[in-house]
Amino acid sequence: MPHELIRAPLADRAAVSGAVDGVDAIVQLAARAGIPDSVADPLGTFEVNVAQTLGLLDAARRAGVRRFVFASSNAAAGDHEPPADESDLPHPRSPYGASKLAGEAYCQAYAATYGIAACALRFSNAYGPYSLHKKSVVAAWLRAALRDEPVTIHGDGEQTRDFVYSGDLARAVVATLEAPDDAVAGELFQVGTGRETTINQLVTAIGVAVGRPLEISHEAARAGDVRRNVSRVDKAADRLGYRANVTLDDGLAETARWFSAALADPDLAGVVPHMASGSE
């Protein structure tokens, strides 16, 4: 079916109002992502991740949009004994995490107050093709590795994350859009792999993906980072039929191939994918 691409900032309320008019569903992937940036500029992070998300959600309400899917982050949950669960009491450790928690709360409030089937997906650490511009660890390390530059580990490298391939996240989003309203309205879903990977293991895996061991430098641990993180995805499996299919090794290999091609051909790096990677 025909589609229209509109490029405009979420701060442009008139553009947002026009873009959402007549649509059935909105997937909110736009964000100011990353913990270090939020530590440096908490008010800027609030403006983009909270105020602009609320503006989009309210535009959806006024336009009669049926479904609203918000891309949140495990940073909203903060430091918990893993695996992270939707029932955990949130303890965000960074302004970025707090901003994502606020977005989740507004989705729940709009579902309860206005009847819009709004929900939040807490993405684990996303990676994949079309992310050459990203500051997340996989993107940053692949850029460095393919340019024969060292990668930086903050702390001892034994901190853990749940790395989820963008194609799996896209499947989760589609499943959320296709689910019945009463299965998702006001709900929160952890969307990851359920597999815990240390940063040291990630270094080794990226080395395999690019065909050589990486040169490593060490710096102090960063403020706002959690020690361990991995998602329990049982609720998403039960309600949405979601389970991650792509292994870390396979996902990194595919991502490394795309990064290598994009670094060789800058025009490729500017291609807009059908489904963008998520947050972080």
Q: Which residues are known to be catalytic?
A: 96
Name the burial class of residue 38, with classes exposed (0-12), middle (13-18) and buried (19+) by CB atoms within 10 angstroms of its CB: buried
Residues 100, 30, 236, 81: is their CA dihedral positive or negative? Answer: negative
CA distances 220 to 94, 143, 155, 163, 199, Å, are: 17, 21, 5, 22, 14
Amino acid 279 reads: S
Residue positions counted in the chain: 280
Rg (alpha carbons) of the chain, rounded to whole number: 18
In the numeric block, the tokens 């990677």 are attached to 277
Read off the tokens for 221: 């641990």
In the numeric block, the tokens 């060490």 are attached to 218
89: which residues sit within 8 A by CB, 6+ positions away?
Answer: none
Determine which helix (DSSP H) or strand (DSSP E) holds 18, and give its type and residue range: helix 13-20
Q: What is the DSSP string of 74-90?
A: GGGTBS-SSSB-TTSPP
Read off the tokens for 173: 């989003």
267: which residues sit within 8 A by CB, 6+ positions away?
Answer: none
Determine which helix (DSSP H) or strand (DSSP E) holds 252, and give its type and residue range: helix 248-264
Read off the tokens for 175: 């499943």
